[in-house]
Chain A
């Protein structure tokens, strides 16, 4: 649903990688996925969209973002870090509430949903 087209000109090394089934995910509760040594947090929202951000929490240094509470802030779908409660926009990875700390953002992966599978755009450049 949230398919983003791959532009080969800008991401020559990137490729779509299948991670899991959409059915493996639960609405408004994250799951972690392992891509090599990189950890990704996957979130399925009520509208059927899937978002992929860093599982690594830049504020605590622990791999816990997938275990945060999902919600909304205004129009933005969000996840709150379970460690120190910073709130991130799932669409951009931007931190919307730093709890008084310096700004830090989560990396975001483009997601492709195809035939019930979740694919992430991965590549060396990232």
Chain B
């Protein structure tokens, strides 16, 4: 028979309960969730995000959970009465539902203190989406009426109050936080920590008054709030008031139904989350466990899991509240965990305070200073993820190491006990994560997330999970494999040396000797790159052609519709007026979309495979060559205009850039290479964001290496300074060749340098002091590259066998792909979207109406 379960309340804890119950239930169940608000369950903890532009729908909790056919969600119809004898509930609309088990998840309501005038319009609480929507509307309305920024008073300096103050600030209002006790966040922080937090909050433009009680709210003749009166009879003018003085459990239904409630409010529950009626459970903020209700979501989630387990016949118990919190308030990190106030007899504390940078950290230790009991962190809570799971366990090192500023001494890592909770959002222990590695075969954070849900909610424990997984894999004798792919056990660096030493020159001979199978899209391009450096020769020579990545194979960059973009080299970003005219004519004749690249050259988009040789012919005839924009190779050398024209230029940066680009053009590497040359310290070429950045000084060139833009920006590090042209070039030669020889597949110079033994100093020893005795080899290899350079486009045009590859169809060599379709945009064309194709509004069938064949 189907078990009928009814949940009263549709908040975060109810949502978690539903998720847990239906994902684990093997028996027939039907679950009805009755919500008071007219919304689907949403992230109340993230309410402040609403002011950062998140809409109500962005805050909605995973809707997939509620799509389960066993679940019925009713919103906007609160339960009015529980009839325990008949085991039914009646809603406000009069609907009556029978239940086999009832779960109370009614949460709390925001409390309004007994302050005169608290009912005036312009007084708010901060609890629901409706509350924040009304608050926002009020601020916007008053600001336009008053013609100045709105002033707001937030009464209550706990975490909710600080969130509300931050939200007001986000609305361009001027907030003041009023706190009756001696410090902010008095439930989580002691006086010194609270004082640091106050300074940080005030620095961010939020006024704070402590030891202040509010006695009444004043309204003006227009009925609008215009001030508050304090217990010392002073008055503060304000245009609105937000009360954040705590929450009150919504236990009125339970009381009316005769369930045992705690004297301070809340429905009493036992460790199985059952109330005094065994057919009724209570979870979340409405539940009172050991005389206490707690307004944090993590313990509510833990109760939801326990209640679901019990309904399914399990024996889970609620172990008590974990009051740990970590949050960001107006950009300030605050965390508090374990016995933060050192109430354990004999507890010691270790405190680190840096008033200048606004950091305060305290650890609470057992009387022998070995066991971590708790702590509070203000201004920098980065150690929270590492410390919180250690509560109750050995600290495993000097406690001070955990308190020092990030980036200094590496904190010691203690072995976490199996029972330590690593992810408090999903209540996942270290033991569970270890089990997932051993039994479920998880090998990374993504696997652990999918398997245990750890790390999937707030993400603060991800690094802890990563460490645990790595340690477990190491214990199992498994390391993170460096094998290229299923065809080669070797890493790229090992394969490079194997090819170099063996003298093999073809893919077939290399895979026969060092690998197995016929390769794949991972190892083939790697070998193409290695062979290009060691053996050289054209990318389309013989078997080489089958190894090349798509773009290298046709010496152009594939775009989303399968056509290509064409980029001729413009060394150093220099181009003549004649050159510009030729490019303009080609783009016009072939209907190509043109755009400037970030590397100071011109990209022409929309060329079809069979058009590429014709376009190259015209470019080569005009003196252009391939820009290798498609290769894992030198891309561009960006430069500022330098001393030839610029009145501040110290050295000829364009001349050096052209020189370098012509030297390294065509050089194949594990990943793309970019350079920059600036003619003075103003650094207009942004050279320090490049793999090699050169900056002119009065003493000569400074060379920086290992920089990166893109997704993981990194400034290049200084390798040598004040050197002449010759030394500069020799140093770059060796840096590039050493990188090409030893880097992993698709590893750019920035991560390569970070992983290199000894870092920048280690690099200096190898390529300047020749500590490995390989500099002569590196120099010789680069000299061979420079001598053997040929333009790939011109070489292709000169070889009919290579040209034969540039046919659209083997049985229709010059027929364009009939599916290409374009629409005009800002005077050029772009590929049509799927919708545009369906609607037939495609104006141009190809980029050109055959101009040339």
Q: Interface of A with B (CB < 8 Å)?
A: 19-20, 24-29, 31-34, 37, 39, 42, 46, 56, 60-64, 67-74, 77-78, 80, 82-83, 85, 87
Contacts and interface: CB of A to CB of B under 8 A. Distances in A.
Contacts of B549: 69, 82
6 contacts: A26-B545, A39-B819, A56-B819, A67-B554, A69-B520, A71-B523
Interface in B595-636: 609
B810 A24 contact: yes
B839 interface: no
A30 B360 CA distance: 64
A34 B811 CA distance: 7
Contacts of A28: 518, 546
Interface string B543-569: 001110110011000101110000000
Contact of B546 (A24, A29, A83): A29
Interface of B: 486-487, 517-521, 523-525, 545-547, 549-550, 553-554, 558, 560-562, 609, 805, 807-812, 815, 817-819, 834
A126 to B, nearest CB: 18
Contact of A34 (B520, B560, B812): B812
A39 B517 CA distance: 29
B4 to A, nearest CB: 36
Given A26-B545, A33-B811, A62 B550 contact: no
Given A63-B817, A77-B518, 17 more contacts: A20-B810, A20-B811, A29-B805, A32-B810, A33-B811, A34-B809, A39-B809, A39-B819, A67-B609, A69-B521, A69-B547, A69-B549, A69-B550, A71-B487, A74-B517, A80-B521, A83-B560
A64 B546 contact: no
A24 B817 CA distance: 19
A64 B562 contact: yes
B553 A67 contact: yes
Contacts of B819: 39, 56, 63
B558 A71 contact: no
B521 A87 contact: yes
A77 B549 CA distance: 18
Nearest to B516: A72
B550 A67 contact: yes
A63 B521 contact: no
A71 B550 contact: no
B604 to A, nearest CB: 19
Contacts of B561: 62
A117 to B, nearest CB: 11
Contacts of B562: 60, 62-64, 67, 83
A64 B119 CA distance: 68
Most A CB contacts (10 A, CB to CB) among B520, B524, B547, B562 go to B562
Contacts of B487: 71-72
B811 A19 contact: yes
A75 to B, nearest CB: 9
A26 B609 CA distance: 17
| 6 closest A-B pairs by CB | A82-B550, A62-B562, A71-B520, A80-B521, A69-B521, A28-B546
B71 to A, nearest CB: 25
B558 A64 contact: yes
B519 A71 contact: yes
A71 B518 CA distance: 5
A48 to B, nearest CB: 14
B252 to A, nearest CB: 48
Contacts of A33: 809-812
Given A24-B810, A67-B554, A68-B550, A78 B545 contact: no
Given A20-B810, A62-B561, A72-B520, A34 B815 contact: yes
Nearest to A71: B520
B545 A72 contact: no
A29 B811 contact: no
Contact of A72 (B517, B805, B811): B517
Contacts of A62: 560-562
A73 B486 contact: yes
A1 B408 CA distance: 67
Given A29-B546, A33-B810, A73-B486, A68 B521 contact: yes
Nearest to B561: A62
Nearest to B508: A46
A46 B808 CA distance: 23
Contacts of A72: 487, 517-520
B520 A32 contact: no
Nearest to A32: B809
A28 B808 CA distance: 18
Contacts of A64: 550, 558, 562
Contact of B818 (A37, A46, A71, A82): A37
A29 B545 contact: yes
Contacts of B815: 34
Nearest to A21: B810
Contacts of B817: 39, 63
Contacts of A27: 546
A54 B808 CA distance: 15
Contacts of B524: 69, 71
B606 to A, nearest CB: 13
B520 A82 contact: no
A80 B558 contact: no
A19 B562 CA distance: 23
Most B CB contacts (10 A, CB to CB) among A31, A42, A60 go to A31
Contact of B525 (A60, A69, A83, A87): A69
B810 A31 contact: yes
Contacts of B834: 61
